[in-house]
Amino acid sequence: MSNSLSIPQPTRSGILLSGRGSNFLAIAESIRAGRLPQRLRPTKSESRRLAVESKMLGGSKMRAIRQQDLPLKGSSYQFAGVDHGDVGVSFYLVEAAPGRGAPLHRHNYDEVLIVQEGRGRVVVGNETRDTVAGDILVVKAGTPHGFVNVGAGVLKQIDIHVSGVFEQENLEPTEVSIRAGLPTPHA
């Protein structure tokens, strides 16, 4: 099996050189040794990032990350797959206080919501559904959706995005989302 390298691909966090596991380590070693054609050689900053990723992987196929080490935005910890070995999914670890949630929005990819604790209200298209721990909802790509915590305690859910990056288009509230009590997008 040869250790080949594809043309570098731009990502939100820099350049991605395709490769996994030991193949990835062999590619990183080739880069450090300068054995790549000039057109495939990464910049110095890309080389530093690859060296860091190579050390992080250390030949292992597993990467361990603590929740508190993820970025916290609003009431959600964010795992963007592109930032963690170019994983093909991203997710929010939601911990929403009563009355908090996500305004009506949509994505160009599917999303799966897994309710772990608390009570929520979800709008998907023109449907409204109250949720409790153990509920799993599948939202197809392009479908307007949002949620709000309607309980007295924290709403915990995992929102899995079938994409290595988060891409969200906030939408104007509808009669259904207003009636459901969804938050409105920030101006």
Q: Is residue 187 part of a domain?
A: no
pLDDT at 18 over 70: no
Asked if residue 107 belongs to a domain, the reply is yes
Count of domains observed in the chain:
2
CA 77 centroid distance within chain? 10
The size of the chain, in residues, is: 187
Q: pLDDT of 49-73, one tens digit each?
A: 555 555 555 567 788 899 999 999 9
pLDDT on residue 21 = 44
Q: Count of CB atoms within 10 A of residue 34's CB?
A: 8
Residue 128 β-bridge partners: 123
Task: Give the span between the Cα atoms of 75 and 123, in whole angstroms.
Answer: 19
Residue 165 belongs to what domain range? Answer: 67-180
Count the Cβ atoms, other than its own, within 10 Å of residue 7. Answer: 9
Angle at 91 between CA 147 and CA 143, to 5 degrees: 45
136 and 89 together in one domain: yes
Contact 33, 27 (CB under 8 A): no
111 and 152 belong to one structural domain: yes
List the structure tokens of 42. 């990464």
Do residues 163 and 107 touch, judged by C-beta distance below 8 A? yes
pLDDT-derived band at 132 (thresholds 50, 70, 90) equals: very high
Residue 38 has pLDDT above 70, yes or no: no
Segment 134-145 mean pLDDT: 97
User: Are 36 and 81 members of one domain?
Assistant: no
Residue 58 identity (one-letter amino acid): G
pTM value > 0.85: no
Tell me: the pLDDT tens digits for 162-179?
999 999 999 999 999 999
Residue 37 CB partners (closer than 8 Å, separation 6+): none
The pLDDT of 131-135, averaged and rounded, is: 97
Are 113 and 161 in contact, with CB atoms under 8 Å apart? Answer: no
Question: Given this model, what pLDDT does residue 51 score?
Answer: 55
Task: Tell me: do 90 and 165 sit in the same domain.
Answer: yes
Contact 12, 82 (CB under 8 A): yes
Residue 2: inside a domain: no
Most confident of 10-19, 39-48, 87-96: 87-96
Residue 124 has pLDDT above 90, yes or no: yes
Greatest alpha-carbon pair distance for the chain in Å reads 62
> Is there a single domain that holds both residue 100 and residue 176?
yes
Give me the pLDDT at residue 64, please.
87
Same domain, 80 and 157: yes
Question: pLDDT digit string (tens) for 72-118?
Answer: 999 999 999 999 888 999 999 999 999 999 999 999 999 999 999 99
Confidence of residue 130 (pLDDT cuts 50, 70, 90): very high
CATH number at residue 103: 2.60.120.10
How large is the average pLDDT for residues 117-134?
98
Q: Are 20 and 103 part of one and the same domain?
A: no
> Are 14 and 88 found together in one domain?
no
In a domain, 162, yes or no: yes
- 171's CB contacts (< 8 A; 6+ apart) are 103, 104, 105, 106, 144, 185
